[in-house]
Structure 1
Amino acid sequence: MSSHSSSRSSVSDYPVQEHQDNTDSLCERCKGIDFPSLFNHISLTERTWSKLSHRARHCGLLDLGVLKEPEETTTCILCRFFYSVRWPQAPTSLDPVNHYHLRLFTTIEVSKSSFPKSGNMSGATVCSVVPGKVSEFTRETLDDCHEAYYNFCEPGALLRANGYFVPDESWTPTSTTPEDGYGGAYVLARGRRVDPEKVDFDLIKGWLRECDHDHIESRPVRSAPHSAAPIRCIDCFSREVVKLPPGADYVALSYVWGGISAAGMVKRGQEGTGGKIFVSKDVPQVIGDSIMAVKSIGKRYLWVDQCCIDQNDSADKMTQIQNMDNIYQGAYLTIVAAAGKDSAYGLPGVTTRPRKAQQLYVNIPGSFALVGSLPTAHEVIRNSIWATRGWTYQEAVLPRRLLIFTDYQAHLVCPARIWCEDKAFDKEPSTETMIAHQPVPVLSQIFETKRYRRGATDLRDTLRHFEQFSTRDLTYEGDALDAIRGLLARRPFYTYYGVLVWRYDDDDEKPPPENTSLPVEFFQSLWFFFEPCAENNIEVRRRVEFPSWSWLGWKAAKGVDYSKINPSLSNDEESEYRLERKATFWAEGNDGSHVLLVDLLPSATSSSDNKWNARVIPELSPYLWVENMVLKLRFQELEDHEKRPDYPDEGYPRAKFQDKDVGGWIDLVHRPRTRDDPLYQRLVTETWECLLLCCTFFDMKFLVLEWSDRTMAYSRIGTLDLFASPEQYEALLERVSHSVKKIRLG
């Protein structure tokens, strides 16, 4: 359910290169380049690569000298091609900057959005035109007697995902077995020319057949009922909105609405149709293109939020919002409209809108063709409007498979592999049965985020979702919780206003709270702060529709930060990192009553038709009542020569707490710009109430609070981490004002 668009710079257009003429001649230098040997030979094995720095680049160097503008050089088609595919900028230490060389890279160095990370691709090579002189490189003999040339490039010289070229798919090597004595499968990295006018749906259907056969984890997840109410879908052949037949495959759509109203998108049929509902011919381009795409891949049903949810029925709308996890995980695949700024843009290459650019390409007389790479899904999506919107986040996390349309090409992404139109891959060896791979979150495939496995890392994985979602834009900030309900329903935790309350165990019918004490995950998910973002002078923005104690209550360019989470924290009484002196929490009802937070968890007698949605505890009022020690503390200016060792210097003035052998750092939500800032002057001159959340053997976690006469409640304005042993803490209480309070926190 995507929302409206926002301004965001897009990827610059990929340079257009016309098809090169076969009759052009080659210069003497280019005639001597043995491309078949370069691409059909594993120069260094993965074992050898592991001995080199991750910024080392290996052999295959060939000096190209100075590359000039095409009109200034000869008619050599390879020289012109090299100029077109060269890296646009050289590292500043290289002189002259127009001196280039050819260099080989292995596919493991190229963005994983370009090549699958299967074992049979680990030794394949691609080629790039890189700035620098061959004479500046160091020659070294490795342990296995293979020679390698490499240097340590500046960051500006790292390989771009769309900055290399490979042989055309039509070329077949004379041998696919490396001659250097190393075993293992070898697959040639080859390119494919992409039609700038239309998508190759026959190619996509081939990807889907391979994925359906080989990848168990790509199958739709339909363990829970499709809905608390039946899923309605568009029949792409009749354009009627119908109830989805049992067991039928359907495709979901993820896109940016762009301010277009849902009114008029569906209409009643003419007399005699029995009140049937049809999709109008005036729907936005992206919906019309998606209908065509669904038919082109051999499917029939399409789920689109604006057409399949009754936008005028608030009850139906909420039912479907709460069912988003089932809708997207149950889809055969999800189409992602990653191009353009709104729904009027459509899917490039499907109907009327062409793709933006052709590939760089050269046909070498008497040899074979070379094909340049196109921007990857990772490169395009991270700069797209789609990637900035709040509603689209869970639409990328929940599906098992994404079919992504960009301005350059189409990509199919599943938990085991990525396909793209500009790459030609030989089919991976497989058995007659489906192969089980290590599941990989589809979103992490696209954005190359760090991946965590299930188990002890579920907490970090969940908090990482919170970090990323909190950077997203919403036209209506009050939609933040609804826009992530589906994701929360699939996490292994019960949540309340997005905050983790209890870990869910699939083996238990209900959580086993034995007292009022909440687990460590709850206190850790309350303990967030904000990394400074000096660029563009962006401040953290308050979402007043949500409480300050929840991460949903804040929006910032870099998101909420959970980097201080200690994975060793425990409830175990024997652990050195056990939590002690934990605060007690009550939820405030809309009638003013107080309910212990643990009592909101589903009980053995409660019934739910959908155990997944039961993990999202229904919200009461946005207020919590919290009881624990409250200290009244004063903070000191941080001297210019002092600096937090674990915090970057962004030019913000900071404050600390220091009292004898007890010290700590304060992190305000809104960071003052200068020492003259009124907020900073308040920070270092006033006394602040600090609520103790919990403590361990070596530190204490506080929320810094401010009272509001308007809401008659405290709000969170920052965090304080004091480093002290239990003995030092007890001594501190003798020197500062403190008391146990039950306060109202909003």
Structure 2
Amino acid sequence: CLNNHGHLCSTHNIVTPKPRIRLIDVDKRCIVNGSGTENWVALSYVWGGANTVLMTTENINQHETQGSLEGILPLTIEDALRVTQALGERYLWVDCLCILQDCEEDKSIHLPRMGDIYRHAVVTIVAASGSNAAAGLPWIRNSITRSEQLFIQVRPSFRLGDYGVATMMDPPESPDCDYATGSPWSMRAWTFQERLLSRRVLIFTKDLIYWECEQSIWREDCFGELPAEFPQIFTSGFGSGTFWSHLDLSRLWRSHPFDIVNTYRQVVSHYTGLQLTYQEDGLHAISGVLAALEMRSGSKFLWGLPTAMLSAALIWESHSDDDATLSSRNQRRTAKHMLGPTQNSTSHCPFPSWSWVGW
């Protein structure tokens, strides 16, 4: 990607500077304070119910000691460290170890930066198959193969412009083409933003590993690189291809015409169907995407609503009345959004009833 795509997959379109954040030094196995110049890999995963090592005000000094993280990390984070080293990178960002989990002031500083953290990452490792942090990354520790060989119909070859000749394969009946659909990772609200804002992702699923960037996709079940200029390839031959490709959020970073109304509607429609463990994170978990929409369209956002079309954005309605949704609504109505720190303290504010984020 770095060699062949150049500025198309670089940070040239990112106007926000790199945030100064804590990082895991994969060589020294400890937490370090970044200077804002380092390159890092980010991890997108599901905490789940597994016992996860957390950084707190009590153990931060210990975790900053070289070797302190050796042998104590859950499998997913441990495997992500190994992948980071294999990619030739030195630093990894993981939320549970790079944000003080018992300090509201620290959270109020870093949660609004989540979008920039993933946007500036060299690549994001996606643990798409695990239900918790103890699941590990498939294919890292053990070699797994399919127990049943799939038979696929091969179509005649055709020319792909200057890319050469391609051969399409019809998927088998009832294919599992979008390997992350329905997984716990794909249903989490935080991971929605993490995926959409990452410039490059290395995705680990139970069936295969694949790579996506702004320009192409590499998959283990394909020979060669699939150009992003031909999106019909992904839908006609390989199912949905990219995660949430219908949102077309690559437009956020490009100069061609941008339809904020349609994109905003699609983003909110998808996001509101996802799950949050803590309802007070309802706005933080989408703030990075809203910031990107704001930057691209020039419209400010107020409690999740674009001010340029506020009267229209206020006319929203929920399309789900199941018990889980009603329970989440009740929790959201009593939850309070954490505002930024002021004079060494944090303040909280209830979600307004007129915004979808409050329900």
- What are the residue-to-residue correspondences of 1:467-616 with 2, within 5 Å? 467-492=269-294, 493-502=299-308, 521-531=309-319, 540-541=326-327, 543-544=329-330, 546=332
Distance, in Å, in 1 between the alignment partners of 2:64 and 2:180 is: 43
Matched, 1:259 2:49: yes
Distance, in Å, in 2 between the alignment partners of 1:426 and 1:255 is: 26
Distance, in Å, in 2 between the alignment partners of 1:274 and 1:437 is: 45
Which residue in the other structure is 2:220 paired with?
A: 421
Distance, in Å, in 2 between the alignment partners of 1:545 and 1:238 is: 42
- Per the normalisation by structure 2, the TM-score is 0.73
Superimposed CA distance per residue, residues 74-109 of structure 1 (whole angstroms, 9 cap, x where no aligned partner): xxxxxxxxxxxxxxxxxxxxxxxxxxxxxxxxxxxx
Paired residue secondary structure (1:490): helix
Check 1:466–1:356 CA distance in 2 against 1; reply closer, same or farther (3 A cut). Answer: farther
Which residue in the other structure is 1:360 paired with?
A: 149
Instruction: Answer yes or no: is the 8 Å Cα contact 1:265–1:282 preserved in 2.
Output: no
- Equivalent residue in structure 1 for 2:265, among 451, 454, 463: 463
Superimposed CA distance per residue, residues 672-710 of structure 1 (whole angstroms, 9 cap, x where no aligned partner): xxxxxxxxxxxxxxxxxxxxxxxxxxxxxxxxxxxxxxx
Which residue in the other structure is 2:117 paired with?
A: 327
Superimposed CA distance per residue, residues 446-486 of structure 1 (whole angstroms, 9 cap, x where no aligned partner): 23425375645112201211110100111222221121122
Which residue in the other structure is 2:138 paired with?
A: 348
Instruction: Answer yes or no: is the 8 Å Cα contact 2:28–2:67 preserved in 1.
Output: no
Matched, 1:315 2:113: no
Instruction: Answer yes or no: is the 8 Å Cα contact 2:54–2:101 preserved in 1.
Output: no
Shift of 1:248: 2.8
Higher strand proportion, which one?
A: 1
Which residue in the other structure is 2:10 paired with?
A: 219
Aligned residues: CA RMSD: 4.0
Check 1:541–1:460 CA distance in 2 against 1; reply closer, same or farther (3 A cut). Answer: farther
Distance, in Å, in 2 between the alignment partners of 1:539 and 1:326 is: 30
Shift of 1:497: 1.9
- What are the residue-to-residue correspondences of 1:59-138 with 2, within 5 Å? none
Which residue in the other structure is 2:248 paired with?
A: 451
Paired residue secondary structure (1:380): coil
Shift of 1:543: 2.3
- Equivalent residue in structure 2 for 1:402, among 194, 201, 204: 201
Distance, in Å, in 2 between the alignment partners of 1:426 and 1:312 is: 44
Instruction: Answer yes or no: is the 8 Å Cα contact 2:121–2:198 preserved in 1.
Output: yes
Which residue in the other structure is 1:411 paired with?
A: 210
Which residue in the other structure is 1:613 paired with?
A: none
Superimposed CA distance per residue, residues 479-502 of structure 1 (whole angstroms, 9 cap, x where no aligned partner): 211211222222223222212224
Shift of 1:530: 3.3
Which residue in the other structure is 2:184 paired with?
A: 385
Paired residue secondary structure (1:279): coil
Shift of 1:260: 3.5
Superimposed CA distance per residue, residues 593-650 of structure 1 (whole angstroms, 9 cap, x where no aligned partner): xxxxxxxxxxxxxxx9xxxxxxxxx985545xxxxxxxxxxxxxxxxxxxxxxxxxxx
- Per the normalisation by structure 1, the TM-score is 0.37
Instruction: Answer yes or no: is the 8 Å Cα contact 2:40–2:122 preserved in 1.
Output: yes
Superimposed CA distance per residue, residues 214-268 of structure 1 (whole angstroms, 9 cap, x where no aligned partner): 25332246532222xx211111111121123553321000000012455556856
Which residue in the other structure is 2:88 paired with?
A: 298
Check 1:527–1:399 CA distance in 2 against 1; reply closer, same or farther (3 A cut). Answer: same
- What are the residue-to-residue correspondences of 1:182-197 with 2, within 5 Å? none
Distance, in Å, in 2 between the alignment partners of 1:544 and 1:256 is: 24
Q: What is the percent sequence identity of the aligned residues? A: 27
Instruction: Answer yes or no: is the 8 Å Cα contact 1:359–1:373 preserved in 2.
Output: no
Check 1:345–1:360 CA distance in 2 against 1; reply closer, same or farther (3 A cut). Answer: same
Letter in 2 for 1:406: T
Instruction: Answer yes or no: is the 8 Å Cα contact 1:251–1:303 preserved in 2.
Output: yes
Distance, in Å, in 1 between the alignment partners of 2:80 and 2:201 is: 13
Matched, 1:250 2:49: no
Superimposed CA distance per residue, residues 111-140 of structure 1 (whole angstroms, 9 cap, x where no aligned partner): xxxxxxxxxxxxxxxxxxxxxxxxxxxxxx
Which residue in the other structure is 2:236 paired with?
A: none
- Choose 1 or 2 for highest CA Rg: 1
Higher helix proportion, which one?
A: 2
* Count of aligned residue pairs for this structure pair: 310
Between 1 and 2, higher relative CO (CA 8 Å, sep ≥ 6) is seen in: 2
- What are the residue-to-residue correspondences of 1:107-186 with 2, within 5 Å? none
Letter in 1 for 2:15: S
Instruction: Answer yes or no: is the 8 Å Cα contact 1:373–1:422 preserved in 2.
Output: no
Superimposed CA distance per residue, residues 140-197 of structure 1 (whole angstroms, 9 cap, x where no aligned partner): xxxxxxxxxxxxxxxxxxxxxxxxxxxxxxxxxxxxxxxxxxxxxxxxxxxxxxxxxx
Instruction: Answer yes or no: is the 8 Å Cα contact 2:55–2:100 preserved in 1.
Output: no
Check 1:316–1:265 CA distance in 2 against 1; reply closer, same or farther (3 A cut). Answer: closer
